[in-house]
Amino acid sequence: MNQAMITRRSFLAKTSVATIATVSAATHAFAASGSELKLALIGCGGRGTGASNQNLNVSKGTKLVAMADISRDRMDKSLAILKKQHPEQVDVSLGNQFIGFDAYKEAIAQADLAIIATPQGFHPYHLREAVKQGKHVFVEKPLAVDAPGVRTVLAAAEEAKRKNLKVGVGLQRHHQVGYQEAVKRLHDGAVGDITSMTCYWLGNARGGLERLPGESELQYQLRNWYYFTWISGDFIVDQHIHNIDIINWIKKGHPVRAQGMGGRQVRNDKRLHGQIYDHFFVEYEYADGSKLSSQCRQGQAGTHTVVSEHVVGTKGKADLNVQNKIFRITGPNAWDLRLKTSEDGHQLEHFPLIEAIRNDKPYNELEQAAYSTMTAIMGRMAVYSGKQVEWDEAFNSKLQLMPENVTWDMEPPVKPDAEGNYPIAIPGKTVAF
Ligand SMILES: NC(=O)c1ccc[n+]([C@@H]2O[C@H](COP(=O)([O-])OP(=O)(O)OC[C@H]3O[C@@H](n4cnc5c(N)ncnc54)[C@H](O)[C@@H]3O)[C@@H](O)[C@H]2O)c1
């Protein structure tokens, strides 16, 4: 093993499961030896800056050498933060700071590993380019906003495997010990056959942004991207994917159909709230007939909050709650894990990726993440349309919300009406797949 790195296993070996603490850069970065790994950051916002910091924490042999964004301001802020965090590992010359919609291609060309943290509508096309150029990738979740995007990701996943590229995805729960231990036990039959599932993300929301003076419609929508379905996929796809993905992981597959309901009751300010919903309830059915009740809600102050996953089986049940740090199985195979402090999944997910790159081990998280992305998209399709949606029709849908090429002179796919209201999905009327 390359001694320049700390691995997740060696980190965990030194840390009792019950006392896992947030990984800190100071204690876990190792001195460099061996070849330098060049990193490019595509999308220099909050998560891109965070993921770059966490990636650079893993090995001093990694250097950030290129950045891409559509906003000079966002890039400058990100670069200043990263330089402060890693003065010796950040060297992005002015010539390697690329601005614009094609900037990702140029930044990727400078690197061995690309971190893709643009808004998710862009992920399939930025990922495809990185794989085409033969680069390793860390790409944030979700992987797409529509079915054509998911199919593009799956094609890139195959190409990445053929080219022996390593790809990590920002579904960090896969790297948190509570989930790993619980899912392993469930796969080993701890609760028998799983007959029903529930998952929740009821809680926090990203605030909407007002238009700035002189901003074009496209500039505004891209800055307030969370609130436009063609860029974010709506919040069931952006955020609730984390919980839906855990159920798919436990069930070792995706649902076969979905139906549900939702809408927006408090997201009704046309200056802030674009077109996304503020609540979804989706009933998913899996191939074995078991059903998942999935609930997500944002922005409704004064309502119940919870982020958790639960399954009931023929021999017991399991309750996984990352927020209160308790993972529990009840029944004949009772088990319980209480973490004293939260695990930093955003940090942990970079260990195995770097380890796989350095030691040339197979590593590709795209497939599971693509199916979980598609599951969340299918939920949105069912709720927006008000129809029952079969997996095959959802997966094969030709409805493409995100254009493959976005340019500053194009019209955005959605526009406000004369009163400034954006089109909102109406169940029973909206064609959503
Ligand atoms: N895994 C997690 O828990 C987690 C948490 C937060 C965000 N995310 C994901 O990370 C991604 C980014 O989210 P964020 O919170 O950093 O958003 P953000 O708005 O802070 O950053 C997005 C950045 O991308 C830039 N950008 C937009 N379009 C671009 C393009 N075509 N080319 C290059 N740059 C472009 C923006 O200017 C901005 O700097 C999203 O996919 C989000 O879902 C994941």
The Cα 61–Cα 56 span in angstroms is 8
3-state secondary structure of 431: coil
The Cα 398–Cα 153 span in angstroms is 15
Report whether 290 contacts 194 (CB < 8 A). Answer: yes
pTM of the model: 0.94
**Dihedrals φ, ψ of 185, to 5°?**
-60, -40
Q: Which residue has 């690309």 as its token pair?
A: 114
CB atoms near residue 1 (< 10 Å): 10
Q: Which residues line ligand 1 (CB under 6 A)?
A: 42-48, 68-71, 74, 101, 103-104, 117-120, 122, 140-141, 170, 172, 222, 238
CA-nearest residue for atom 11, ligand 1, is: 117
CA-nearest residue for atom 2, ligand 1, is: 170
CB atoms near residue 183 (< 10 Å): 20
Cα(49) to ligand 1 centroid in Å equals 9
pLDDT of residue 204: 82
Cα(141) to ligand 1 centroid in Å equals 10
3-state secondary structure of 292: strand
pLDDT of residue 9: 57
Q: Which residue has 């380019």 as its token pair?
A: 129
* Helix or strand run (H / E) with residue 235: helix 235-238
3-state secondary structure of 138: strand
The domains located in the chain, with CATH, are 8-173+347-364 (3.40.50.720), 177-340+372-395 (3.30.360.10)
The Cα 127–Cα 360 span in angstroms is 20
CA-nearest residue for atom 25, ligand 1, is: 43
* 168-188 per-position pLDDT tens digit: 999 999 999 999 999 999 999
pLDDT of residue 34: 61
Burial of 149 (0-12, 13-18, 19+ CB in 10 A): buried
Which one-letter DSSP state was computed for residue 415?
-
Report whether 72 contacts 93 (CB < 8 A). Answer: no
The Cα 281–Cα 290 span in angstroms is 17
Cα(54) to ligand 1 centroid in Å equals 16
User: In the chain, which stretches have pLDDT less than 70?
Assistant: 1-34
